[in-house]
Chains A and B, each alone.
Chain A
Amino acid sequence: MKRGGKNLMILGLGAILIATTTTAVSLVLYHNSGDIYLDRSRPGFLPDKKEKPAIVTEYLFPDGGWPNKIEREKYLREYEKNLNQLKTLADPFSEKSLSDEILDLAE
């Protein structure tokens, strides 16, 4: 093999090695950081159309000084509204979903 050809092969192998290493490192980081469990672009995890969207509130806390009575009432009203919306999620992470009954393991 000519010297140029040999160098080209070393360069190619080096590039493959670097690419494999960096890909492996990023996959480990992606997994260990827990980002993988939040990544909804994973196959099978794409958002559904019927899915309940997270609360998007337009509320902005009033600028400057102590808020007046109307602003204070609005704050409390909006806070409560958001809190109630949060509660509409029925029993998140309930133990029932992993129970023997649900998994058909009840004897």
Chain B
Amino acid sequence: MKKMLWLGALILIIGVSLGGSVFAISKNREKMIEQNCSNMRHSLKDLQKSDVRNRIYLGTNYETLMKKFILPLNLRLVEESRPESELVEAQAKLQDLRVKFMSQFTNYSQHLEELLGVNCQNEPLNFDRKLNETRKERLVLKETVAQIEKILEDYLLIARKALE
């Protein structure tokens, strides 16, 4: 029983020290966060605005390409009994990615807003943790944007062949 208690305590100590080190940052970085807090908040607010602009620009243009080009061509191909499985597949993928893009943007924006809500002067550690989380969400979003662009490019290549 005593041994078990010792083992439990040891595991707890190791766990706490490992957990602590995951979120630990250098004193220098901590100081920099505190010192640059006001400038960072300003940059993050500007970024938040430009992200909304980009989201709307991209979202509207994806919609335009989908509604005015992709859907009408795919429908016509079916009507004319010339279905192109690759084009239909691209349309389905694009639809999924657009939904993903929207939810990922919301997710990212929530993280960015939470980051802005952290008092970086008093909570540099928490700010750094939130900053890393927001970076991850932004990367996910960026990858989805790249995937959408790739599919739109591929669609054009396949459509070129189908319309020859």
Give the segment of B6-14, B15-23, B32-40, B83-91 that binds chain A: B32-40
CB closest residue in chain A, given B105: A37
Q: Choose from B33, B47, B69 the contact partner of A78 (Cβ within 8 Å).
A: B69
Question: Does B53 have its Cβ within 8 Å of any Cβ on chain A?
Answer: yes
CA distance A102 to B44 in the complex (A): 10
Would B76 and A93 count as touching, CB distance under 8 A? Answer: no
Residues of B within 8 A of A105 (CB): 29, 32-33, 36, 40
Q: Choose from A47, A86, A107 the contact partner of B29 (Cβ within 8 Å).
A: A107
CB closest residue in chain A, given B49: A45
Would A44 and B49 count as touching, CB distance under 8 A? Answer: yes
Question: Does A85 have its Cβ within 8 Å of any Cβ on chain B?
Answer: yes
CA distance A103 to B62 in the complex (A): 31
- Mark contacts of A7-45 with chain B using CB atoms, 8 A cut-off: 1 yes-contact digit, 0 otherwise: 000000000000000000000000001100110100011
Residues of B within 8 A of A103 (CB): 36, 39-40, 43-44, 131
Interface of A toward B, CB cutoff 8 Å: 33-34, 37-38, 40, 44-45, 47-48, 51-52, 54-57, 59-61, 65-67, 72, 75-76, 78-80, 82-83, 85-87, 89, 92-95, 97-98, 102-105, 107
A-B contact pairs, 6 of them (CB 8 A): A34-B106, A75-B73, A85-B61, A86-B62, A92-B145, A103-B43
